[in-house]
């Protein structure tokens, strides 16, 4: 530990329970919710998400909000000054020139804007108008990282300790962070589920006080832990059954709609929750982004009728790629997959299920596109519905070699010109009317079926003080403290 940070609670350690080892600590690599939780403590984005979708993002690396530049055309040239005194964990100052250089290397961001430094300000020249560009700069792909040999450094409150392993990540304070965190050490420890998929090892660790915090449990797990505080709120993720529109058996929208009508979404939610109506999806956007009802109801007769109309395109056998493990929006993936197989069998459609053995293999198979369906989902990266829909529906978000699925969620591989135009209108003018037009088009074409929503759940020890929930389910531990006793 650096000298000068030796206050009485300097040796306090926050222990965070995970369900899987960490896949990567590369802020721009393919990651999952576990990795994102850790990376949030190390790397910062230029802006932080607001607590509600109608609030502006909060400047983090900038000293003030973005402002239009004089002479900028249609507000497409905007800038902000870099906050003074910020340093990476090796002491390197964050300057406007360095920030512009790093952000220019963020592929998805560079596709939208040209970035340069001028007189202590970072200037963005947007390719198209964007009313909420500050929200774009809260995105995970905008996390600011500096490569120094084998290390990747951040400006956040913590850095990775040298003795870390994928199963046990230890974070220590960034000695150059402006306000030294009161929690002096964070241990992220993996407690893998048992053979039945139950997180019993993690539940036992929480029950015994060995783990102080976890955000990876399902709602049904909460009843098994005692002596802790529990926080549950509408989540930012949606479980989704994607139909690969590039495959011959699913290129006809009548077939896709037939498969959707064969599935009872309330029954899907019942597999995971005791009160299924609270979680059964009525549309693609998660509850934190408002509601929109797609009108899809379980209707086996209509499903059979649609398949009869599309007899020449009717598939006899389909393959399903299954997400590698439990997710916040899909706590029991295998059970849901088995239910879908059973329902589609009533249409004389046989489904073979392949569950990816790891997150990396799942990403690889999704990029190849060698599947008919994917049972997975999406967790919001920002509080903006435009970002959520863009990641899932944009033709530019179809995973392909050289692009990262962590930012590209169009697993339906849906490339519809009308949808692209509708998404563009919604992006330029994020009105309820433009959102409804886009979602109605998706409903007509049915490239995917939203299944259920996942709640945001926190379980934490009474020792954890100043806890504040995050709108996206990932807290910042630098803002908290750990008491000696409850």
pLDDT digits (tens, 9 = 90+) for 232-276: 877 788 999 999 999 998 999 999 999 999 999 999 999 988 888
**Which of the following CATH numbers is that of domain 236-454: 3.40.50.280, 3.10.105.10, 2.10.50.10, 3.40.140.10?**
3.10.105.10
Residues 6+ away with beta carbon under 8 Å from 41 = 156, 157, 158, 171, 186, 476, 477, 478
Query: Is domain 47-147 in CATH 3.40.190.10, yes or no?
Result: yes
Q: What is the pLDDT of residue 104?
A: 92
Residues 6+ away with beta carbon under 8 Å from 361 = 324
pLDDT: which is higher, 221 or 32: 221
The CATH architecture to which 13-42+156-228+461-482 belongs is 3-Layer(aba) Sandwich (3.40)
Given a contact cutoff of 8 angstroms between Cβ atoms, the answer to whether 257 and 446 are in contact is: yes
Lowest average pLDDT, out of 200-209, 300-309, 436-445, 472-481, goes to 472-481
Q: What is the pLDDT of residue 290?
A: 78
Domain ranges of the chain: 13-42+156-228+461-482, 47-147, 236-454
Asked whether the domain spanning 47-147 has the same topology as the one spanning 13-42+156-228+461-482, the reply is yes
Averaged pLDDT, 79-104: 96
| Per-residue pLDDT reduced to its tens digit, 122-156 | 999 988 777 778 888 988 889 999 998 888 999 99
pTM of the model: 0.78
Q: How far apart are CA 226 and CA 236, in angstroms?
A: 26
Q: What is the pLDDT of residue 132?
A: 78
What pairs with residue 190 in β-bridges?
A: 18
Predicted confidence band at 55 (pLDDT cuts at 50, 70, 90)?
A: confident
Q: How far apart are CA 215 and CA 231, in angstroms?
A: 10
Kindly report the CA angle at 375 between 143 and 255, in degrees rounded to 5?
Answer: 125
Given a contact cutoff of 8 angstroms between Cβ atoms, the answer to whether 423 and 438 are in contact is: yes
| Per-residue pLDDT reduced to its tens digit, 174-194 | 999 999 899 999 999 999 888
Q: Let me know if 195 is exposed, middle or buried by CB neighbors in 10 A (0-12, 13-18, 19+).
A: exposed
């Amino acid at each position: 530990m650096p000298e000068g940070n030796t206050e009485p609670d300097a040796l306090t350690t926050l222990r965070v329970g995970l369900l899987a080892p960490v896949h990567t600590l590369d802020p721009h690599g393919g990651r999952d919710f576990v990795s994102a939780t850790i990376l949030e403590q190390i790397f910062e984005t230029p802006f932080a998400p607001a607590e509600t979708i109608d609030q502006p993002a909060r400047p983090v690396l900038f000293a003030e909000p973005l402002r239009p530049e004089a002479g900028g055309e249609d507000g497409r040239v905007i800038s902000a000054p870099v906050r003074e005194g910020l340093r990476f964990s090796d002491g390197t100052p964050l300057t406007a020139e360095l920030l512009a250089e790093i952000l220019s290397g963020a592929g998805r961001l560079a596709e939208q804007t040209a970035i340069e430094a001028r007189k202590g300000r970072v200037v963005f020249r947007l390719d198209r108008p964007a009313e909420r560009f500050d929200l774009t700069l809260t995105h995970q792909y905008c996390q600011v990282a500096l490569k120094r040999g084998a290390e990747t450094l951040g400006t956040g409150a913590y850095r990775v300790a040298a003795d870390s392993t994928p199963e046990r990540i230890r974070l220590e304070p960034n000695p150059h962070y402006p306000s030294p965190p009161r929690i002096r050490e964070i241990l992220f420890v993996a407690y893998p589920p048992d053979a039945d998929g139950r997180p019993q090892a993690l539940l036992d660790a929480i029950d015994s006080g060995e783990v102080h915090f976890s955000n990876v449990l399902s709602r049904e797990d909460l009843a098994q832990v005692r002596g802790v505080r529990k926080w549950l709120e509408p989540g930012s993720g949606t479980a989704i059954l994607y139909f690969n529109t590039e495959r011959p058996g699913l290129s006809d929208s009548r077939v896709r709609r037939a498969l959707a009508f064969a599935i009872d979404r309330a029954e899907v939610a019942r597999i995971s929750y005791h009160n299924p109506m609270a979680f059964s999806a009525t549309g693609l956007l998660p509850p934190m982004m408002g509601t929109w009802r797609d009108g899809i109801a379980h209707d086996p007769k209509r499903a059979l009728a649609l398949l009869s109309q599309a007899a020449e395109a009717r598939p006899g056998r389909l393959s399903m790629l299954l997400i590698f493990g439990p997710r916040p929006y899909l706590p029991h993936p295998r059970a849901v997959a088995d239910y879908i197989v059973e329902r589609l069998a009533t249409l004389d459609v046989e489904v073979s299920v392949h569950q990816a053995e790891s997150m990396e293999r799942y990403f690889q198979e999704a990029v190849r596109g060698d599947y008919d369906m994917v049972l997975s989902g999406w967790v919001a990266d920002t509080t903006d519905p435009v970002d959520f829909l863009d990641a899932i529906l944009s033709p530019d978000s179809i995973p392909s070699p050289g692009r990262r699925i962590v930012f590209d969620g169009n697993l339906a591989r849906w490339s519809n010109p009308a949808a692209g135009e509708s998404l563009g209108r919604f992006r330029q003018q994020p009105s309820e009317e433009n959102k409804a037009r886009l979602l109605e088009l998706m409903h007509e074409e049915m490239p995917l079926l939203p299944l259920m929503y996942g709640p945001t759940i926190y379980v934490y020890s009474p020792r954890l003080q100043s806890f504040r929930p995050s709108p996206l389910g990932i807290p910042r531990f630098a803002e908290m403290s750990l008491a000696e006793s409850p």
